Amino acid sequence: MEELTGGTFSITNGGVFAPCSQRPLSTRPQSAILGIHATKDRPVAENGQVVIRPMNYLAVSYDHRIIDGREAVQFLGTIKEALEYPGRDTAGFVVKGECHG
């Protein structure tokens, strides 16, 4: 258990050069890392129409010895909701910023 002591959580920004399939790698002593990729205009289906919206990809990597996959996916969903609806309290996360919806 000593190798699991002092774990951290990191956030990395893939920046404008990151491919959308990039997965961040967690290394000791990280327990997890969240990768946030560049925001780019992309086509999206909305009410039966194709519209252009600013989109980005999120990815989380985590140490399966201390974090269960279910909790990691729920965490990623919470981050997604907080980014999609800025200003709304989503499970304790409040993101301030401009809404593009």
Q: Dump strand ranges (E) for the chain.
A: 8-15, 30-37, 40-46, 49-55, 58-62
98/5 Cα distance (integer angstroms): 38
Q: Is 68 a catalytic residue?
A: yes
Q: How is residue 37 written in tokens?
A: 């990729």
Whose CA is closest to 60, among 81, 36, 38, 93? 36
pLDDT tens for 16-47 read 665 555 677 777 778 888 888 888 899 999 99
Q: Is 37 a catalytic residue?
A: no
The pTM of this model reads 0.68
pLDDT tens for 50-66 read 999 988 888 888 888 88
Q: Which of 37, 41, 63, 68 is catalytic?
A: 68
Q: Which of 37, 41, 63, 64 is catalytic?
A: 64
